[in-house]
Amino acid sequence: MATAAPAREILTLSGVVQGVGFRPFAYRLATSLGLVGKVWNQGGDLLIDIQGSPSQLQAYKTQLLANKPTQAQVRALAADTATVIPHRHDFAIVDSTPGAVQGAIPVDLRLCAQCLNELFDPHHRRYRYPFITCAECGPRYSLIRRLPFDRARTSMDAFPQCPACLHEYNDPEQRRHHAQTNSCAACGPALQWYDKHGDLHQNIDPIAAAWQGLSQGQIIAVKGVGGVHLLCDAGNARAVADLRQRKQRPHKPFAIMTLNRASLAGMAEIDDHTEQLLQGADAPIALTRKGPDCDRRLSGVAPQCADIGVMYPYAPIHYLLFHQALRCPADTTWLEQAQPLTLVVTSANLSGEPLITDNAQCLRDLQGVADGFLLHNRDILARSDDSVLQNSQPAIYVRRGRGLAPNVIELAQEGPSVLAFGGFLKNTLCVSQGNRAFVSPYIGDLDRAAACRDLDLTVERLLETLAIQPDLIACDLHPDFYSTQAARRYSERLDVPLLQVQHHHAHCLATMAEAGLRGPVLGLALDGFGLGDDGGIWGGELLWMNGADYRRLGGLRPLPLPGGDSAVREPWRLGVAALLSQGREEDAERLFGAHPGYAMLRQMLAKNVNCPRTSSAGRYFDAAAAILGVRHHTDHEAHAAMALETLCRQTPPTSDASFLFEITSEGALDLYPLLDALTTCEPHAGARLFHDVLVRGLLAWVDWARAKTGVGRIALGGGCFLNRVLRESLTCGLRARGMQVHAPRQMPPNDSGISLGQVWYAYLRAQHQPPAPNAVIETDQPTCV
């Protein structure tokens, strides 16, 4: 029987194909099947030049996808026929080449099970080595200078491999074959211990010193993968209180780190779904319901919250602290057993500043905050805050950071290359190319100079890493946002057009981008603040959208905002404003008259001085919390709303109270009757009443809009949808009415998704959709429900 003539193909794999051990896997598979050729990284993709019989090539492609590395995600595989090269005798991993990024930027991955076992194997040469990794785990994005992902393009280039590590790197039979972060104690990064004065102590075990401090109630700064964290013993109430005082974080909840599920018994409710999230390679913080013993055992960690943020160790340094706390057991059985140690883990920064990554800055800025510093000498080139998600099904992202970003959103169409600058709060950037959008890790609020500098650095890093030259720049409508100002500068510098997108339109567009929607679709945006087309302060909007065009069908009835931003920090001002607007002077006096500024506030409202009006849903939550006496002052975003939701979740649903709202002739949803009703409620019942009536009102509002437009699908967006009660109740009610509901799934519903929405606006605008018909914005007479 004649032997089949050889064939040759060039395979291009896009997706998560770098930094996950794909080249060694492709090598081993080719040699096992007797194929010849080579594999290399190009830009952000993986290329394989493969040659053999047609049946061998088909087997190779089948097994390549079926048995790919655990963390790899192949979004596309293109196979191009090529001319057979005679006299090829082997298969090799060859040097990477530059090129455009069609796939994804490698993200930081948690320590894998095999490396974890080696870390605590006394006979292994990497026993207790704090930087143990392999081809399938460890830091990636945080140490990349540019793609392709090779050691010379990372901060690991400062650590040449010793002969033993180099042998592993070059040996196809080793797990660390072509592992770019490969190192050991003889050649790799090292830990350093500094005391509270910033003095280096060289003749001391850094892990032992850090644990000694934690066991004594101290606060320790620990440099990990994406930045520096502050750690303390979560069970030590005094240590937690000290951390709050030093970090200027009086009430905002902290996250905790425990070794495993068994260690969380009584502190958090962990089901199989949550366990799967926590054990993922991205190792996020999962917000899950508190257990019955949580507030007693973890006093002060998450006050006035129904949920607590939980995470497991993800880097060797974390596991080593738990190992040290148990006095370094010789086996690994302790990894599966319940352990008493619970740590608070929070970003190491001054209040409002970005996460610290630099050793010198850490030692300087955290003097008086940390009692000791566990640092290392591997540079962090890109900061990444821990990712946070809610453990609902599907999971809802609160923040995409380490392990989850930069993330790629597959778009339903191709469009121009866009650089989108997002908004002001919870900022992210988004860069698009073809049918892919690359969303940056969470940058944060742009109210500090350091955060603005971080935005500028992230822009340069993304453009350089992705090798993208933008055709368009997109940003928010608000002229005072730093992101808007930066966008203008880049537009002028690159000489490309600037597109400005209304904030709430962008919220709903982000959801549309995920779902591949072009319209027509209704949009419901509920958040804290965004500049409207009319120059007003919007935040509770019902929209009609088709292509890039949209019309505002209505907003929540505006609330006075006495003192502007001061009212956001002092919700009692909103409570007074809402009640006085309804002529409820006695209630306002009874509930708020004791405030020192009450008399002046009444004069401001009477004279309409510095009292802009807002349709913000977030401010309605604030007003309700103030009227119920839940929170009169706040120290972090959504503080009052979170406290209100906590009380609601502790209370059964109310009976029908739908008379407490109205839909006006202008299409506004009027919730003033609901706020009036809260004056006679105790906090728990009032919190439940507020949520239940709000949902009923929103459902009636959407019914009204559907009747006007004939549109039966809706896109939800805005930070208020992080409220589980609101999101789940509203979604259930809309689906019961036959509505097709789209909510954010790949991006957070808050302002972190704004940049993606801006990109989708540019894509839809490029299609030149016709304007919406005038009939869409016609209204009827008032509707009372």
HEC secondary structure over 285-348: EEEEEECCCHHHHCCCCCCCCCEEEEECCCCHHHHHHHHHHCCCCCCCHHHHCCCCCCEEEEEC
> Which of 456, 400, 467 is closest to 431 using CA atoms?
467
Return the structure tokens found at 146.
Answer: 């540019």
Place of tokens 């203008």: 488
Q: Where are the alpha helices (DSSP H) in 495-542?
A: 503-515
Q: Where are the alpha helices (DSSP H) in 526-584?
A: 565-569, 571-581
Rounded to whole angstroms, the Cα distance separating 228 from 349 reads 8
Rounded to whole angstroms, the Cα distance separating 465 from 249 reads 35
| DSSP conformational letter for 608 | T
Place of tokens 């490309």: 496
Instruction: Dump strand ranges (E) for 25-146.
Output: 36-42, 45-52, 73-82, 91-93
> Which of 549, 553, 552 is closest to 761 using CA atoms?
549
List b or e across 281-307, with b for residues whose CB sees 16 or more CB atoms inside 10 angstroms. bbbbbbbbbbbeebbebbebbbebbbb
Q: Which residues are designated catalytic?
A: 23, 41
| Three-class secondary structure of residue 42 per DSSP | strand
574, 619 in Cβ contact below 8 A?
yes
- As a whole number of Å, the CA-based R_g of the chain is 28
Count of residues for the chain? Answer: 785
The amino acid at 353? E
